[in-house]
Structure 1
Amino acid sequence: PGKIASLAKSVRTLANMDDPINEILKRTEVADGLVLEKTSCPLGVLLIVFESRPDALVQIASLAIRSGNGLLLKGGKEAMRSNAILHKVITNAIPDNVGEKLIGLVTTRDEIADLLKLDDVIDLVIPRGSNKLVAQIKATTKIPVLGHADGVCHVYIDKLADMDMAKRIVMDAKIDYPAACNAMETLLVHKDLAKTPELDDILVALKTEGVSIYGGPVAHKILGYPKAGSLHLEYSSMACTVEFVDDVHSAIDHIHRYGSAHTDCVVTTDDKVAETFLRQVDSAAVVYNASTRFSDGARFGLGAEVGISTGRIHARGPVGVEG
């Protein structure tokens, strides 16, 4: 019931938004009597290949209807029946003057390969799934692809962090929804906090909740946790890596080397450290004293999101009706 209520709220938020089509974004008089206008318009036909969660279908379909785009949907086989029912409900609700064929449902995986060849018909592909899925789609199509391959998100706890706040942020970032792409996968900690009661309290709280902790090269030696197999690892489960760094600059270097440019967080009371982190971390979303889980279309006030983009061209971060 809670999930359905949340979906309904996101759809109503979209419905109550101003019409995003034909909005004048910029108007310039380039010469006497010559006016140049930049207006918003639909992208065209989108192919969305998404994970098994049926709520993704509702979010994506509502965004497509609101923004005037045609849509081809391919969901995970585990939710095939739910997707079919939701697709029927949505298309039956679309007025005749819009057309029920605005949203199509792809039912077999074999059709995807053929659809990816239709670069003259499909304008954008948005894959939402595993790293393997995203990489495979990018390698087999000429159609532009929007999305992200990994969600290796970091929380950096600075030596001047409010440790009670840090604990709340870390617990939310890891425990709230471990399989989400914006969940914390690596906890970076300033070296001065090693073996402090406050850090021990956070690590014990994680383990009490059932989180398996692995150590980076430094944390493995200091804390004795099993060594992480890789520092670029999206667990998507109740597990995370802990590593110690010298300072904020070392944290930034670590994130750029092992992260995925998705969402990264700094916890500190030092404004200069925060500003350095916010300005220098090159990620789609950079968060200051808040959980990585805030990197989400609904929490950003977008109503819903079609996906999260880590690219630098056009949309970056959660992508809503306006891109």
Structure 2
Amino acid sequence: MRNDNQSSLGNSLTDFILVGISDRPWLELPLFVVLLVSYVLAMLGNISIILVSRLDPQLQSPMYIFLSHLSFLDLCYTTTTVPQILFNIGSSKKTISYGGCTVQYAIFHWLGGTECIILAIMALDRYVAICEPLRYALIMHRSLCQQLVAVAWLSGFGNSLVQVVLTVQLPFCGRQVLNNFFCEVPAMIKLSCADTTVNDTTLAVVVAFFVLVPLALILLSYGFIARAVLRIQSSKGRHKAFGTCSSHLVVVSLFYLPAIYMYVQPPSRHSQEQGKFISLFYSIVTPTLNPFIYTLRNKDVKGALRRLLVRIRRLCRS
């Protein structure tokens, strides 16, 4: 009878309270400014990458197809969470509806699962480009690239579907207070008043597939890449090969290190206080930095951005 009552209570929820930093009101204004500036930079940076990757004829290789999808993912990441965080910081009523919370973590985990696969695909692309340069165009043809991207998006959706189906069945008792800036599955599991063993186990299995397996493939790819680069005789050739990979390695580190902390260990074991700031890091800091990392380290992207700006100026003058 108690489980039935809990379930009915969980299904009739209307609002969750998002604590954020409401216990430290002096931090709200600085955080609001930082988030607003970061969001604007993330929007501008990622939209610019998408535009030049799609419009510039010199950026039509598979590498830039995958980069445009990564930028689109980062754009969606920030838009899924940051506007709602900004609204809550500026409001005295820091709440989100049960339906809104469900939609938020569903989209967030869809995007997260997809990004894990996309980063692994980008590592595969770099492996083929450096280790099989003569067969690169034959192997990484447009049809295969489209299929790989489709698999990434569908896999991410499958991850989200599994998490949502299990999480919406959790009962929540008493005051619904989420010690986080936004809704995500680990915080929801920690809030439940029922036995969450199935949720913890499923999350661990899914994480092993979407985080650890792609990460292992990335490390394996870069192991082969490192061996191939060391065989290059000229220092200029080695520098160029390293330059094409370094940006991706930095992005992988920024994405995977926080994700491993948040999701590899059971949600019931990690500190929510630390977890909410780490969640904030990979939902806004990483998407903001990614376009700048790729732009600063990539001459082709910088050249394409200059050509886009020149084109925009000409249109404005005419």
TM-score by length of 2: 0.23
Considering Cα pairs closer than 8 Å and 6+ residues apart, tell me whether 1 or 2 has the greater RCO.
Answer: 2
Which structure carries more helix by proportion?
A: 2
Between Structure 1 and Structure 2, which shows a larger proportion of strand residues?
Answer: 1
The two structures have a TM-score, normalised by structure 1, of 0.23
